[in-house]
Chains A and B, each alone.
Chain A
Amino acid sequence: MSPEIILLACIALPLLAPILISALHRWPNPREAVTLLTSAGLLLLVLSLHDAFLQGARPAIDIAEPLPGLAIGFEIEPLGMLFALLASFLWLVTSVYSIGYMRSHHEWRQTSFYSYFAVALGSVMGIAFAGNLFTLFIFYELLTLSTYPLVTHSGDNSAREGGRMYLGYLLGTSLMLLLLALIWTWSLTGTLDFREGGILAGTVSPAMAGLLLALYIFGIGKAAVIPMHLWLPAAMVAPTPVSALLHAVAVVKAGVFTVLKVTIYIFGIDFLSEVTATQWLMYVAGATILLASIVALRQDNLKLRLAWSTVSQLSYIVLCALLITPTGIIAGSAHMVMHGFAKITLFFCAGAILVMTHKTRISELDGIGRQMPWTMAAFSIAAISMIGIPPTAGFISKWYILLGTIESQQLVALGIIIISTLLNAAYFMPIVYAAFFREQTTATAHESRHNGAEAPLTVLLAITVTAAGTLALFFFPDKVLELAMMTAGAGR
């Protein structure tokens, strides 16, 4: 198969899978087999694309031209490759997890759950491989719309409220600000292609470029920079697998991915270094990091604490992008992956706890490590990675982040990262401590004897894989860093 065909298949496969999934809605086992096969197939496709990519293939293909001069087209570049690898690998893991979770939790409407999940992943692939900003925007919106039914899966009042926030913020920011930025860019340059070195240089004054950059940064609501972040905690009404894959990895990373793409391929690092507004936007990202961490500290609901932690971590990447140095881009790209592995593990664990004990609050987790040692061990590894302590993946990206801030002499940013590291420790370590070193209350102890101990096998399997991945990425980060460095090279 030629790389172009594989590229199209990567997008088409998950988008078409729902047809089969809905056709099999009466037979749960074959239906889930379709999901597993699709996700495994997608991973294989992306891996083979990765091989071809490293050998120098640069497949590019246009499939339609909705507006004259604006094509829906796909093209592979290092950052997109990295994002696609991350999303497709974690989709396979999440599919395994979902089957255990959805069944043990007796969720309804499972067929539509798996269908929309596949569409969402297809949109993510579209975003990752988008050949121009227009295509990226289309799949960005498709991702919002396809995840809306997942967020509101339970169909009750809280889902409706959460869904409102979700759609309101994401569609609102993208239609109001991002689309405006897009059309503005189009009217300035006559193209929306991603080009190495950017397309905007020389077409707009640095002051206006700052305004345009602000439109992009705030318009990309999925990157959750304050004040466009409130949708993310609201999205936590979704079933845990959705929160895990979509709201810790796919959707939010699509946001920061877009930010990186825009800074690298639309503005270009050289042009952006003339734009003074980047400094201010970086402070906004810094403020997001700190404020979201502080809010996370105060959350008792485990999923909410994780969500606020995600808000804060996303701004790490935005901040890295705005450092406008090659090291910053390496740091941002790497952090996309490293944070993805750790955060999905944390969500998986939260879901496992919910399924087995029906507990959602951190204050109820005393002694849970004795009941679910395997789960909580994975939780601890991921928490350590979030703080950035070796030997975990988080250390690698934090290294580059700190290096980037020092290189560009952004001392404020450096300070923010250090304080935020302390805050990370402050909101994750107590959970680990409580789980392993506090006594269970008698009621909980009774319940745990009654309910059995660990989570279902598929759930444990998924948790193990991502936790092991978090450790493995510390020892073998080469593949990730290779792509990250190629991205940084493209920005010049």
Chain B
Amino acid sequence: MLLANLPALQVVIPLVSAPLCLLLRNPRHAWAWSSLVSAAVLAVAVMLAHRVYTEGTISYAIGAWATPWGIEYRIDMAGAMMVLIIAAISAVVMPYARRSILHEIEYKKIALFYTCYLLCLTGLLGIIVTGDTFNLFVFLEISSLSSYVLISLGSTRRALTAAFQYLVMGTIGATFILIGVGLLYMMTGTLNMVDIAERLPAVTDTRTIRVAFAFVTVGVSIKLALFPLHIWLPNAYTFAPSVVSAFMAATATKAGVYVLLRFFFTVFGSQFSFAAMHVSEIFMLLAIAAILVASLVAVFENNVKRMLAYSSVAQIGYTILGISLASAAGVSASMIQLFNHAMIKGALFLALGCVFLRLGSVTLKDMHGLARHMPWTMAAFVAGGLSLIGVPLTAGFISKWYLISAALTAGYWPLAVLVLISSLLALVYIWRVVEAAYFNVPGASMDKIKEAPASMLIPVWLLIGVNLYVGIDANLVVSMAQQAADALIGQVLQ
């Protein structure tokens, strides 16, 4: 009974738990409750992934309304992998959040924070599991609206403008998606993804479908911060509370990429997306621009959080680059990159949160000589940074390897060179932090700085540990990613 309803539980558990946080009011209780929920969500995700792994794609009809009429939840290997990433990051972030949130957010608003956090988690998980385009829009809005609130809770007043900027951009994106879904409904008379896919070939050569495709693509591209629609991201990540930056960097944009893959491969079909609409060429150019421009901006950024935000834009570029290759190797490289980047950026933003807790600032200038006072935090930052650069024995190396292999196999050797050049840029911006923290003499104001508490360091090092583990043995991730890619691409070809 419980097992059969796993797909629903995945979303329902955090959804119904969220309001309870608000009722609890006491920050401590709200935190404990959210941690419990996160753990439960992870447990469900693991069971769900296991089921998909052994039994194949799961289709679940909400309220037992049969599919095309009712809402279908559909989880294949790609979905299972995404659910695992999101649930795992959330479960790791929660123990960390207690101290960090207590420090960064006004006492009265902490319960509100956890409520929104759980809602955001609900939205992200819902986006992944749903097989219904309108339902997808609803979950997208749940996650977006709650993340506007989460960002606005940041400790400076600039968080408000950042949240507003994101709100404007995000709403445009959501509206575009809704228009696209509406057009699809108009032409096919259904909202179920698989059903649309079946009916589309009959009407595929119409302007309406092409417009629908364009609306959806642009709308989702805003959500996943594809260059040049990324402008909301640097501010949002910079001014959001540390926990939110880490959580969003590791999950929200990833969910966006997943939606894109769903629409490209499952709904519209790769034939239409890549052959008729020339997505490959457009995305490849945008990805190249994202990688180069964002990496260069990161090199000159003095606020480390902002630097990492721009680095995220570049990393999203890698993911899109993999998709633009329009091959199984490329998509699986993208899935590997999704997983690895979630682990890398999660670790880096959390490490930076430790710095913010003790230092109250994350600018390079203020971090001079920090390594002497916070050796574990900075060591984690260096390890995460090495993974971001793509040094062997780290997760980042694995993603680079697959991305470059995919590019070479497809015959795009300049792309391989480009990816490597941007690794060098990553080396430059990460090393600016390393030099500031390790080589400069700490100022007198730093004497009282202590190492971050264990409750925050352990989650950071857990993620670093995953990075190193994947670097040594990537078989699990790679096989999951390849199955995910097969699931995405295979559906169309069948």
A residues sitting closer than 8 Å to B (CB atoms) are 64-68, 72, 137-138, 141-142, 145, 152, 155, 157, 159-160, 163-164, 167-168, 171-172, 175-176, 179-180, 183-184, 186-187
Contacts and interface: CB of A to CB of B under 8 A. Distances in A.
A183 B435 CA distance: 31
Contact of B405 (A142, A163, A186): A186
Chain B CB within 10 Å, residue with most, of A138, A168, A175: A175
Given A66-B474, A160-B435, A183-B416, A145 B401 contact: no
Nearest to B382: A145
Contacts of B439: 152, 155, 157, 159-160
Contact of A65 (B405, B424, B473): B473
12 contacts: A66-B471, A67-B401, A141-B393, A142-B392, A152-B439, A167-B427, A171-B427, A172-B424, A175-B424, A176-B420, A180-B417, A187-B409
B416 A175 contact: no
A142 B389 contact: no
B431 A66 contact: no
Chain A CB within 10 Å, residue with most, of B391, B423, B427, B475: B391
Contacts of A67: 398, 401, 474-475, 478
A179 to B, nearest CB: 7
A87 B459 CA distance: 39
B417 to A, nearest CB: 7
Nearest to A187: B408
A145 B430 CA distance: 14
B438 to A, nearest CB: 8
Nearest to B417: A180
B392 A138 contact: yes
B401 A141 contact: no
A163 B431 CA distance: 10
Contacts of A141: 391-393
Interface in B227-266: none
A159 B431 CA distance: 14
Given A65-B475, A66-B393, A68-B475, 10 more contacts: A64-B472, A66-B472, A155-B439, A159-B439, A167-B427, A171-B389, A171-B427, A176-B417, A183-B408, A186-B405
A187 B398 contact: no
B386 interface: yes
Main secondary structure of the interface of A (DSSP, over half): helix
Contacts of A184: 408
Given A141-B391, A145-B391, A176-B424, A183 B471 contact: no
Nearest to A135: B392
Contact of B389 (A137, A138, A164, A175): A175
Chain B CB within 10 Å, residue with most, of A66, A160, A172, A186: A66
B211 interface: no
Nearest to A178: B420
B401 A138 contact: no
B404 interface: yes
Contacts of B400: 179
B102 interface: no
A186 B416 CA distance: 14
A176 B389 CA distance: 11
A66 B417 contact: no
Contacts of A159: 439
A111 B60 CA distance: 60
A187 B406 CA distance: 9
Interface string B422-458: 0110010001000100110000000000000000000
Contact of B404 (A142, A164, A183): A183
B389 A183 contact: no
B346 interface: no
